[in-house]
Structure 1
Amino acid sequence: MTHLQEGDMAPDFRSTTQDGMPLTLADLRGQRTILYFYPKDNTSGCTLEAQSLRDGREELARMGFRIVGVSPDSERSHRNFCAKHDLNFTLLADTDHSVCEAYGVWAEKSMYGRKYMGVLRTTFVIDAEGRIERIFTKVDTKNHYRQILDAYE
């Protein structure tokens, strides 16, 4: 498994947005990006995290950040998630887990003694040149945008 660290170059990727448009790391160059990985659309923690980022988007944008969420859900699931919660940022449909694997967040998890593969909730802040500035592994889902802002104050 990949173990990325702050200061590393962000791994390149190619995926599709909720609108079916291709998106690569190169497309994100020139602006700081909050690339956040979450397990599943419309689950309680993932919804709280998305709503926090939605509510803080303007403040984050003033600091030069754009937001991109990544999960294994389909484009259709992402479109529904965006519509239901009025999300104002891009979601990537990583249905083959390739982006999650490149960032080292696709891993074995355990719930009620059952082991399965899934997404480790993680946020990477990537600078305008494609280098990882910050990594959040202990995400405060309800206050995530504030957690990011606090790290830069």
Structure 2
Amino acid sequence: MYQNDLADTTPCKSDGNDNVTVSVDAAWQRRGSGRSYDSLTGHCSMIGSKTGKVINYKWRSKACRICQRAEISGNIPRVHKCNKNFTGSAKAMEPDMVVDMVKESRSKGANITAIIGDEDTTTIARLRAKVDPTIVKLSDSNHIEKTH
């Protein structure tokens, strides 16, 4: 067990100099086949590697039922809290969510220097391009395929 896991549950304060490693992973309503990523929703969580606590989470939706019904009937949608917050492919959802979470966490004082994730190279490429070119990518042992 890590020392941080034994600490009390009061929020820790950071001056932004603490290097933090996080684990990130996303999932979709429908699984991608390698050729088709057409799910309308996706969600992603960011978990501290030492504490095992959820640091942040995001969701993306490419559709809103209220807007869709109004469009089908040729009406203007009623005033509502629209759930649509993403346009693009379902495969692009994970990098988008991870970039958002890292930016938010850094703005709150967590200096995220490494992410643990699956073998998706798009996510780390986007992080390095949009957030910090020095972010380190570590592989998650649960996503590595065994060859023996």
Task: Output the TM-score relative to the length of structure 2.
Answer: 0.30
More helix per residue: 1 or 2? 1
- Greater relative contact order (Cα 8 A, min sep 6): structure 1 or 2? 1
Task: Output the TM-score relative to the length of structure 1.
Answer: 0.30
- Bigger Rg over Cα: 2
